[in-house]
Amino acid sequence: MTERYDLVVVGGGLLGCLTAWMAARDGAHVLLVDKDQVNQHASGQNAGSLHFQLEYRMVEAGEEAARVAAEAMPLHLDAAAMWARMEDEIGEPLGVRQTGGLMVAENADQVGMLEFKAELERSWGLDVRTLDRTELDAVAPYLSRNILAANLSALEGKADARIAAPAVGRAAVAA
Ligand SMILES: Cc1cc2nc3c(=O)[nH]c(=O)nc-3n(C[C@H](O)[C@H](O)[C@H](O)COP(=O)(O)OP(=O)(O)OC[C@H]3O[C@@H](n4cnc5c(N)ncnc54)[C@H](O)[C@@H]3O)c2cc1C
C-alpha cells in the first residue's frame, strides 16, 4: 500500500526533528527519515551552547560585515525565546539553562571590538553588556587574569545535545 504524506523530512538531527514536530503539531501528516539514527550526527555531538551574540569571526571581518551579520539578530532573538519555552511545549527536559554567556577579550583591540559589538546588538534588541574586569570578577572570578573584559548576554546558556533531538522526535511522533 502506498501512504501519502504532507511533508517528508530528510534527516533526524535537531533541525529535522523540530521541523517534523512543528508540522505535525500544526496538523500535517509527516514522515521523518534518516539514513542512520536520530541524533547520531552533529546534533548529538555538539557542545549544546545556546549562543546568540555575534561570533568573533563576524566582527573581526570589519564593521560593515558585522552590520550585515547583525541583520540575522531577529532570528537569534526568536531562537532564544523558543529555547526558553521549549521544555514546556515538548513536555520533556531538554537540559536548557539560560543563565548567561560570556564572550571574552584579552587585549585592548578585542575590548574595543566587544564594545562595538554590544552596541550593535543592543540596537537590534539583544541585551548585551560589556563588563570590565571588576564587574567580571563578581560574575566569573575563575577566569584567567589575562581576560580584561567580557560581553555578557543573559539569554545565553546550554541545552543537552544528548537528549534534545530525541525528545523533540518523540514529541513529533506523539503529535
Ligand atoms: C563539534 C561541534 C560542536 C558544535 N557546537 C555547537 C554548539 O555549541 N551550539 C550550537 O548551536 N551548534 C553547535 N554545533 C552545530 C550544530 O551541531 C549543528 O548546527 C546542528 O546539530 C545541525 O543540526 P541538523 O539537524 O541540521 O544536522 P545533523 O544533526 O547532522 O542531522 C542531519 C541528519 O541527516 C541525516 N542524513 C544526512 N543525509 C541523509 C540522507 N541522504 N538521507 C537520510 N538522512 C540523511 C544524518 O544521518 C543526520 O542524522 C556544533 C557542531 C559540531 C560538529
Q: Is 157 in the pocket of ligand 1 (CB under 6 A)?
A: no
pLDDT of residue 79: 97
Contacts of 156 (CB under 8 A, 6+ apart): 49, 50, 51, 52, 53, 80, 98, 100, 101
Q: Is 101 in the pocket of ligand 1 (CB under 6 A)?
A: no
* 117 neighbors 126 (Cβ within 8 angstroms): no
Instruction: Report the domain count for the chain.
Output: 2
What's the mean per-residue pLDDT of the chain?
Answer: 97
Average pLDDT over residues 27-35: 98
Q: 36 and 77: one domain?
A: no
Q: 139 and 165: one domain?
A: no
Q: 99 and 136: one domain?
A: yes
Block residue for cell numbers 504532507:
6
- For residue 1, pLDDT beyond 80: no
Q: 43 and 54: one domain?
A: no
Q: 65 and 134: one domain?
A: yes
Question: Around 58, how many Cα atoms within 13 Å sit in the side-chain half-sphere?
Answer: 18
Q: Is 48 in the pocket of ligand 1 (CB under 6 A)?
A: yes
Three-state DSSP state, 64: helix
Q: 112 and 124: one domain?
A: yes
Whole-model pTM? 0.93
Q: 72 and 5: one domain?
A: no
152 CA to centre of ligand 1 in angstroms: 27
pLDDT of residue 14: 98
From the list 140, 150, 148, the residue with the least C-alpha distance to 56 is 150
pLDDT of residue 157: 98
Q: What is the extent of the structural domain holding 98? A: 49-159
Q: 142 and 165: one domain?
A: no
pLDDT of residue 36: 98
State the amino acid at position 64 in one-letter form: E
d(CA 59, CA 117): 7
Q: 11 and 59: one domain?
A: no
Q: How many CB atoms lie within 10 A of CB 148?
A: 16
State the amino acid at position 21 in one-letter form: W
What are 53-91's pLDDT values in tens digits? 999 999 999 999 999 999 999 999 999 999 999 999 999
pLDDT of residue 117: 97
Q: 94 and 166: one domain?
A: no
Q: 71 and 126: one domain?
A: yes
* Atom 4 of ligand 1, residue of closest alpha carbon: 46
What are 123-132's pLDDT values in tens digits? 999 999 999 9
- For residue 35, pLDDT beyond 70: yes
Tell me the pLDDT band of 120, cut-offs 50, 70 and 90: very high
Q: 96 and 77: one domain?
A: yes
pLDDT of residue 5: 98
Query: What cell numbers appear for 95 in the block?
Result: 537540559
